[in-house]
Chains A and B, each alone.
Chain A
Amino acid sequence: MYDFTYEKPTEIASATAILGKDDEAKALAGGQTFIPVLKQRLNKPTVVVDLAKLGLSGITVTPTTVTIGAMTTHAAVADSAEVAHAIPGLAHLASMIGDWQVRHRGTIGGSLANNDPSACYPAAVLALGATITTDRRSISADDYFQGMFTTALEQGELITSVTFPVPVASSYLKFKNPASRYAMVGVFIAKFDTGVRVAVTGASQSGVFRHTAFEAALSTNFTADAIAKIATPADGLNSDIHASADYRAHLIGVMARRAVAAAK
């Protein structure tokens, strides 16, 4: 770790002020991604702004929405009976991230700001069509994700919360990378009265994406059979020591069918 200045503001305005005026200033949430990066000296921030005292954690559930503060930990989402009731797939997703230690430190805001192509939350946010609220605006999920490790956030812009519409049914199925246990292929299915949205994480070179062929088929017939014959093209999918693009393409189908069968 290189030396840096550490700040722990109590007002969002002061946090964004520090972050806004210095390109090398960085926000710190749960630190589960950022601290390993610092330890490996892959990042050399001037100032680290800890978001812990900004009052950004908490979960609010209404009949139509679930809003989760940016600093809410994965464990809090996984353990919330209200979330489990409203969007079972979301609570299940949070319960499958990393291990106990990671879930008790890592946050939804950190995960979304980072937008790791193998992260789980982006699949839920995109499939559910959530809205990301920042210190200055609201961003729709379809606009937010812009490729791996790239988002619509501006320098110094802070996520404050994420609002998910409550679907009719949802589920998340994850094929874990055998080593890291991040998603090698993760599929989130969200069924609304208006149609079905399907998002895939872990698989693509350009990060989380919507599977429009599955969406069209499932919107008319919400059964695993409806997508059994739809092949996912391997073009543009990741290939690494654990999974070729072909294998990932195949797993997308398997995970999606299982997710449909498990949706509730």
Chain B
Amino acid sequence: MNVMFEGIGASMRRKEDLRFINGHGHYTDDINRPGQLYAIIRRSDRPHAKLLGIDTKAAKAAPGVIAVYTHADMAPDNLGGIPCGWQIHSKDGSPMAEPAHPILATGKVRHVGDPVAVVIAETRAQAKTAAELLEIDYEDLPAIAAVTDAIAPGAPVVHDEIGSNTCFDWHIGDKDMVDAAFARAAQTVKLDLTNNRLVPNAMETRCAIGEYDAMSGDYTLYTTSQNPHVIRLLMGAFVLHLPEHRLRVVAPDVGGGFGSKIYHYAEEALVTWCAGKLKRPVKWTADRSEAFMSDAHGRDHVSTAEMALDADGTFLALRVATIANMGAYLSTFAPAVPTYLYATLLAGVYKTPAVYAEVHAVFTNTVPVDAYRGAGRPEATFLLERLMDVIAHDTGHDRVELRRRNFIPADAFPYQTPVALQYDSGDYQTTLNKALANIAWDDFPARRAEAAGRGKLRGIGISTYVEACGIAPSKLVGQLGARAGLYEVANIRVHPTGSVTVFTGTHSHGQGHETTFAQLVADQLGIPFANVDVVHGDTNKIPFGMGTYGSRSLAVGGSAMVKAMDKIIAKGKKIAAHLMEASVEDIEFANGEFSVAGTDKKKTIGEIALTAYVPHNYPIDEIEPGLDETAFYDPKNFTFPGGCHICEVEIDPETGVTSVVNFVAVDDVGRVINPMIVEGQVQGGVAQGIGQALLEAAIYDDQAQLVSGSFMDYTMPRADDLPNILVGTETTLCTHNPLGVKGCGEVGAIGSPPAVINAVVDALRDYGVRHIDMPASPQKIWAIINAGAQKMAAE
């Protein structure tokens, strides 16, 4: 028999791709329930206005219309607003401002896209037509989109009851120590930079179907979510006041999330509530234009970073001040992103002894901002890694040597940073060395000269990063303001003849969990890969779970599986001991077999399972029948993937167009279960990072209208914008979870943007460029070249 290796470390083809590639994925919008109605949401086209009145008469009379609801119609039910899952306290100890976030707007609209009314009709077209007939009486108010405008004196106030646009004014680190270090530093380097606002744009737009069973009183919500249990918790407990046993949330196949499908959105509560009112299923599907103005956006920081150094380039202290855009309302994780997912990463891979960061979070008349692939860590990495190159530029240090000199050495782990985190493992010199070798760093001058011969400006840029994922230890995040635990749950069901179903509280929306988890469980239980199936995405099937984000599914969800398998094996040993008349202590488990130590007696896990379910010869007085175990796993720490990304670009100086010609990533993601999937995850993340660095920008004009509100203006990266991305891994194991895994979902988007910009700045070094904000569009680069050329001509 030819046995193919299919355990941990094998690049197994993705099980789920059979249905995806054949067009048999089953997404929320593919679901149609009997008697289903369609909801169309009329959204504000005003960035900021008083809502004086809504005339629904004509809409209600339109053909096919079943109902029209506004906030006033929902008010008698005393529904909660959309809750925020995290509370931050300001420097002075006061809790963040947490303005009401109603399902449908009342009193004011606060951003273009704010939902004002919902029309329910027999068909989607009828609902659309009726929605146009709603007459909404607005009184326009001055609006703000940029964080710098939000904090200007006399700025329009988004939430009147707060009195200013400040959500919180938070800090971390030792200010006195940092100030003292700056006072005695041989040199200091300062950089102002922004992190551009992005629109996630998952391929599948959001969709939600609410359903109510009048006989049982049960509600079901089908939704495009990364975490159905979290939605059940937030929507049931805080918004609709439904107990868990009356509410089922199903997130079937989901076509990409990137963070934007973590949050509990108003539309989910809306369709569920409408279904209860109307006793018929109600479906809402966003079109792309609606997605642009209602999916949580990402990033949007304005920062100043300052480093104090001694004469030989050793870092003494880092000082950072950031203004973060929250948008018009607080989305589920929003306050955590620019604080505990950002400022805690500002030590980076460096042994900077003192770090102090202030973060001022503000409301604006824009779509809410929340976690987007990387969430806070890309912002931290961009700031630090741009600062590294600016330090090298200003002080004359070599950019590689500067990094090496300040790296946390491989023998310093566990390493306590000055900003709360304790890194468990890493080896930054090794990932750097491998990346330098993979891109042939030393030969770059020859490539630059060759490109110059073709009239092109070639540049190379480096980024060395660490991130914190595998979120998160519940006790720690509780202290930091999280309002929920962040453990994960696995149920492993060994069936009577030895095949296995894994029920996981994580959710796969492109990551390939059905493959990775099957590989993990098959490997550990010593059974064929084909005999393991993974079930996710349904609160009625899975005991509980916190979902997928923050690269947590394997580190936390996979660890829960290991714990559940430990229980299976422990029980199996008792059954095996009984069957083979040995003592439990003498039973060993390996390769799917229970054996009696020192004998040739053994039983397969299939035989043990059958015995457990057909317990004729069974220690029935000691243990229960069945082989089905559940485990909750709470991680002991975050995990800390890190690595090095190097990018090479060529710029056409006549047009300002940048081409990425070479990209190398060497990441330490801990133990790798499926190398092919890791490679794909890193490449996808890098694609998004290149998108952020060169192409993407959600642009609001000074009236807070979203100018880049469609793909005609918002530049999504396309295949031909991207180079071949060479992915390598170097492994140090995570020390605190049973698999030694760290997480690979976000590293690509975290490490890559500064590598790209550093390469662009390097390409333009003869033009006196010190920094370029993202995206480095052709127009921006041409303006720099043009100004430089004019200056050179004048000299």
Contacts and interface: CB of A to CB of B under 8 A. Distances in A.
Interface stretch (A20-28, A84-92, A212-220, A236-244): A236-244
Contacts of A175: 655
Given A178-B695, A247-B782, A251-B655, A241 B708 contact: yes
Contact of A179 (B128, B655, B714, B786): B714
Given A241-B707, A247-B783, A254 B655 contact: yes
Of A2, A41, A179, A243, the most chain B CB neighbours within 10 A belong to A179
B654 interface: yes
A243 B713 CA distance: 11
Interface in B713-757: 713-716
A60 B734 CA distance: 69
A40 B695 CA distance: 26
A125 to B, nearest CB: 23
A1 interface: yes
B779 A242 contact: yes
A179 B715 contact: yes
A179 B779 contact: no
Contacts of A3: 125
Given A2-B129, A241-B707, A247 B715 contact: no
Interface string B681-702: 0000000000000010101000
B478 interface: no
A241 B695 CA distance: 12
Nearest to B701: A241
Nearest to A258: B654
Interface in A120-166: none
A175 B257 CA distance: 32
A3 B126 CA distance: 10
A180 interface: yes
A3 B128 CA distance: 12
Contacts of A251: 655
Interface string A35-68: 0000011000000000000000000000000000
Contacts of B783: 247
Nearest to B125: A1
Nearest to A39: B287
A178 B786 contact: no
A242 B655 contact: no
Interface size class of A (residues with CB under 8 A): 10 to 19
A259 to B, nearest CB: 13
Of A1, A41, A175, A241, the most chain B CB neighbours within 10 A belong to A241
B712 interface: yes
A254 B657 CA distance: 12
B655 A180 contact: no
A175 B128 CA distance: 38
Nearest to A178: B715
A250 interface: yes
Contacts of A41: 128, 132
B615 interface: no
B697 to A, nearest CB: 8
Of B708, B716, B779, the most chain A CB neighbours within 10 A belong to B779
B778 interface: yes
B711 interface: yes
Contacts of A250: 782, 786
A175 B655 CA distance: 9
Given A178-B715, A247-B782, A250-B786, A241 B699 contact: yes
Contact of B779 (A1, A180, A243): A243
A254 B713 CA distance: 23
Contacts of B129: 2
A247 B125 contact: no
Nearest to B780: A247
Contacts of A180: 711-713
Given A175-B655, A250-B786, A254-B654, A244 B779 contact: yes
A41 B782 CA distance: 38
Contacts of B779: 242-244, 247
B499 interface: no
B501 interface: no
A242 B777 contact: yes
Interface of B: 125, 128-129, 132, 289, 654-656, 695, 697, 699, 707-708, 711-716, 777-779, 782-783, 786
What 8 A-B pairs are tightest by C-beta distance, nearest first? Answer: A179-B715, A180-B712, A178-B715, A254-B654, A247-B779, A179-B713, A243-B779, A241-B699
13 contacts: A2-B129, A41-B128, A41-B132, A178-B695, A178-B778, A179-B713, A179-B715, A242-B779, A243-B779, A247-B656, A247-B779, A250-B786, A251-B655
Given A3-B125, A241-B699, A254-B654, 7 more contacts: A41-B132, A179-B714, A179-B715, A240-B713, A241-B707, A241-B713, A254-B655
